[in-house]
Amino acid sequence: MTDEKLLHKASRGDEAAFLALYERHCATVFRFAYRMLSSVELAEEVTHDCFLGLLKAPTRFDPARGAALSTYLYAAVRNLSAKHFRRHGGEVSVEDSQGELVSVEHEGPLRRLLAAELSEEVQRAVAALPPLQREVIVLFEYEGLTLAEVAAVVGADTGAVKSRLRRAREGLRRALAHHFKSNGGVAPAKRVFK
């Protein structure tokens, strides 16, 4: 069943339809919120508010505009995160990492430790980016959205998204350069995310 049909049913009180929508999109919404806010508690709050807002005012999502529900939800998370940044002066604390680490179970303990440390350092570097740069790097690199999809979520043209993405990558490259020095060069930023 499509998101639109599920949302229509959910808006009429069908709890199973709402749960299906929630199950379908919850992980993505939480992951984006966590990467934007660097806090499990804040990400849970934003995820809750995002779905509550969708349930209370389902007509705010209009499939006739050509956007997918996932794009609408990314934009809702973005707006809720922006409210948090405005309330708290753009500062969030970087908690101990509970994020997703690259699976390295088949490697030895030293390799796993180094991978975990690098993952934490990348998370701190992403969290330190200005919010506009952070959101595009998260949407493009982590969530796998296209430039056009990122532009739709953030309400900017693709040129602005490309510019923010370039500045974010440069910032990450500078912040993480000491990890990637070999033969006098710095590894491309994309290698950090894969």
| pLDDT 10s digits, 50-106 | 998 888 888 888 877 778 899 899 999 999 988 888 887 654 433 333 333 333 344
| CATH number, position 129 | 1.10.10.10
Do residues 158 and 140 make contact, with C-beta atoms less than 8 angstroms apart?
no
At residue 180, the pLDDT reads 62
**Residue 49's pLDDT band (cuts 50, 70, 90):** very high
| CATH number, position 79 | 1.10.1740.10
Do residues 33 and 46 make contact, with C-beta atoms less than 8 angstroms apart?
yes
Residue 170 confidence (pLDDT) above 50: yes
Q: Against a cut of 0.85, is the pTM above it? A: no
Residue with tokens 């749960």: 19
Which of the listed residues 52, 87, 122 is the one where a domain comes to its end? 87
Query: Residue 187 sits in which domain range?
Result: 109-193
Is residue 92 in a domain?
A: no
Q: Specify whether 82 is located in the same domain as 138.
A: no
Residue with tokens 């056009």: 148
Do residues 168 and 129 make contact, with C-beta atoms less than 8 angstroms apart?
yes
Residue with tokens 């180094």: 114
Q: Which amino acid is present at 126?
A: V
Cβ-Cβ contacts under 8 Å for 176 (sequence gap 6 or more): 121, 122, 125, 192
Which of the listed residues 87, 117, 140 is the one where a domain comes to its end? 87
Q: Specify whether 115 is located in the same domain as 189.
A: yes
